[in-house]
Structure 1
Amino acid sequence: MNLAVVLVSPKTPGNIGAAARAMLNMGAGDLRLVAPRCNPLDPQAIAMAVHAEDLLRSARVYATLREALADRDLSVGTSARVRADLPPGRHPATLRPLVRAAAAPALVFGPEETGLINSDLEQCQVTVRIPTGDYASLNLAQAVLLVCYEFLQGVEDAPPPGEAPTTLPAPGRKTATREDMEAMYGHLRETMQLIGYTDAVRARHTLRLWRAMLDRALMSPAESRLFRGFLRQVHWRVEQAAKAVPDAQSES
């Protein structure tokens, strides 16, 4: 499986190295770092990576999460907290078939102190929650190890009680990349504000609801282009209507 592990703004080199080792343990080989706050090749990182030094040295660094996810067709965020306006975290067993069906999935982990913020989770189609005891805070490398195990080595089993299985794309069907979807969502936001469907204050909340609905559709690249074609037509019609108003006034 072409699984990427994305660490957003990791703080300590030891955690980056330990995460690389956890990836190697579970068979993941694509490490991506978003705006790291330390040197990922610090001697402490290399020491903690042990035999995963090559994986650590091949890690790619990105300025933003959007860039890190641009070529992925599925992004799975991680969070132990329930967030307003965002879908709740799912048990890993319910997401395993979805991840394994994707051509280029990514697992996204947040900074050690805070985890992923809402704007990061908005860029993830689904969120995974690792079942724990009352104390839910995991070390970064522990979280990477557990989630990579679930998706790469875990055996198929029934979903936990109360959780429905995840909808899967049809076999062989290609889904849009996250860059395709983010571009579409930017276009959708512009259109909603253009026609007065929402305003700058409410736009984020409204767009989260649309994201949740449209991400569940697992759009193909052609479908995302089709939707954007519809949005372009809306823009064109609004522009034509705006031009017609002065013409009508001048005639009167």
Structure 2
Amino acid sequence: MTLAVVLVSPKTPGNIGSAARAMLNMGAKDLRLVAPRCNHLDSGAVAMAVHAADLLRGATIYPTLREALADRDLSVGTSARIRSDLPQPQHPAQIRPFVRAATAPALVFGPEESGLTNADLEQCQMTVRIPTGDYASLNLAQAVLLVCYEFLQGQDEPLDRTRKTATREEMEAMYGHLHDTMHLIGYTDAVRARHTLRLWRALLDRALMNSAESRLFRGLLRQVQWKVEDAAKRGTTEPRPGQEVEAQSQD
């Protein structure tokens, strides 16, 4: 298991350097930066990284979160806020078994001043909440250190699951396909589409599909699309001759 730490739009070099140091302390070495608002190789970042300077220099820059997660098979967002139509934040211990069983998990942190947006969390199968006291104000490096510790400390324990799930790119492509199909059949409209798709995401992400299962689901969507488009061309919703389902005999 190789845990990637993804920082979305980090603001200050020192925070990135400190996060790299926290990662190295816990054994995580894959740092990914999404649209950073500063130079991650600034002297301040390198100074705060201390012995993790090489990890910092090896960080990969991505323009979007989707691209940063494309090769991951599990993505875990960080947030303490509850959204009604997104996965509810869970204690790290509840999520740890899923992270450890994944081949390529990712841990996603939002901008220092605002955290992850709803659009960011849509791309995460699970959300982790760091339990704190009444004063809940952790800086980015502290959050990285604590969650990496929770997810990596038990790595020598026997695994309960060995299932390899689909990559996030495969799942995002499936959700795009589902979105188009829902519009095609009138299942939802432009106003309700995002909320409806979030509910479907939550349901299907819980299934932890593998690649073959995501392709199977898309095969069903392709058949639905073909059927609707074929019927529209012929001006009917009746089955094409030769495709009728055999009626059950009645007494």
**Pair in the same fold by TM > 0.5:** yes
Q: Which residue of 1 aligns with 2:114?
A: 114
String of CA shifts for 1:14-58, please: whole Å, max 9, x gaps.
000000000000000000000000000000000000000000000
Q: Which residue of 1 aligns with 2:82?
A: 82
Q: Which residue of 2 aligns with 1:164?
A: none
Shift of 1:154: 4.8
Shift of 1:201: 0.7
Shift of 1:84: 2.6
Superposed, 1:57-96 pairs within 5 Å as 57-96=57-96
Asked whether the 8 Å contact 1:4–1:32 carries over to 2, the reply is yes
String of CA shifts for 1:153-210, please: whole Å, max 9, x gaps.
15899xxxxxxxxxxx984322100000000000000000110000011000000000
Based on CA coordinates, which of the two structures has the bigger radius of gyration? Answer: 2
Asked whether the 8 Å contact 1:27–1:152 carries over to 2, the reply is yes
Report the TM-score, using the length of structure 2 for normalisation: 0.91
Q: Confirm or deny that 1:245 pairs with 2:235.
A: yes
> In 2, Cα distance between the equivalents of 1:178 and 1:116?
17
Displaced runs of 4 or more, over 3 A: 154-157, 169-172
Q: Which runs of 5+ in 2 are unaligned?
A: 239-251
Q: Confirm or deny that 1:130 pairs with 2:120.
A: no
Q: Which residue of 2 aligns with 1:12?
A: 12
Q: Which runs of 5+ in 1 are unaligned?
A: 158-168
The correspondence for 2:220, drawn from 204, 210, 230, is 230
AA aligned opposite 2:11: K
The count of corresponding residues between Structure 1 and Structure 2 is 236
AA aligned opposite 1:143: A
1:7 aligns to what SS in structure 2? strand
**Residues 3 and 206 (structure 1), Cα distance of their counterparts in 2 relative to 1, 3 Å cut:** same
Report the TM-score, using the length of structure 1 for normalisation: 0.90
AA aligned opposite 2:193: A
Q: Confirm or deny that 1:172 pairs with 2:172.
A: no
2:106 aligns to what SS in structure 1? strand
AA aligned opposite 2:80: A
Superposed, 1:77-226 pairs within 5 Å as 77-154=77-154, 171-226=161-216
Identity percentage of aligned residues: 80
